């Protein structure tokens, strides 16, 4: 269980933050400049989560955790494919957040939106950003002599640091966040 964060991870974390921020910016611009997309986007989200609240709390936690764990896995370990999954995953999370932010702002429910995002997002968003940084680091070391060491270290970070944080985030999202939305 012994792992250490790679030495240059901060620069990759900053790049990951930039990609996420760019996604937020593009999500806001898209929501603002293409208002006809709002209704289909919200319809998609509604259908995607339809019946979700009828599941047991344990099922909801494990569904969210598993979904986020798989997405994070792809974000980190498929970065070898020209960083496309890494950049796309970080960007898309930002884009969705920006898109929904503007819809909430324009609809006068920004406070509710923030109450729905912040309790679990305070953990989940940094996990995504760290995952993006690790994906970049993995790609950077793909063709070096230390690829095996890099892979093992990143795997340990994923399993013993990031996954527990995602599980805590899923617990908060299902058990605590709804209390803020009453």
pLDDT in tens, 129-160: 999 999 999 999 988 999 999 999 999 999 99
| Arithmetic mean of pLDDT, 117-126 | 97
Closest CA to 162 of 124, 135, 121, 133: 124
* Residue 2: predicted pLDDT: 81
* Residue 57: predicted pLDDT: 96
Give per-residue pLDDT as tens, 29-40.
999 999 999 999
Q: Within a 13 Å sphere around the CA of 70, how many CA atoms are in the beta-carbon half?
A: 5
């Amino acid at each position: 269980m012994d792992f250490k964060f790679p030495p240059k991870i901060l620069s990759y974390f900053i790049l990951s933050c930039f990609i996420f921020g760019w996604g937020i910016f593009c999500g806001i611009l898209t929501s603002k400049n293409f208002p006809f997309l709002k209704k289909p986007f919200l319809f998609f989200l509604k259908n995607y989560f339809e019946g979700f609240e009828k599941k047991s709390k344990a099922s909801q936690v494990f569904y969210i955790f598993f979904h986020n764990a798989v997405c994070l896995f792809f974000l980190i370990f498929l970065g070898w494919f020209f960083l496309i999954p890494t950049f796309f995953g970080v960007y898309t999370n930002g884009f969705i957040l920006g898109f929904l932010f503007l819809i909430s702002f324009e609809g006068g429910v920004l406070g509710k939106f923030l109450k729905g995002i912040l309790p679990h997002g305070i953990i989940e968003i940094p996990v995504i950003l760290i995952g993006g940084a690790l994906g970049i680091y993995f790609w950077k070391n793909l063709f070096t002599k230390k690829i095996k060491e890099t892979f093992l270290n990143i795997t340990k970070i994923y399993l013993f640091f990031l996954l527990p944080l995602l599980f805590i985030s899923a617990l908060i999202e299902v058990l605590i966040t709804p209390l803020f939305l009453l």
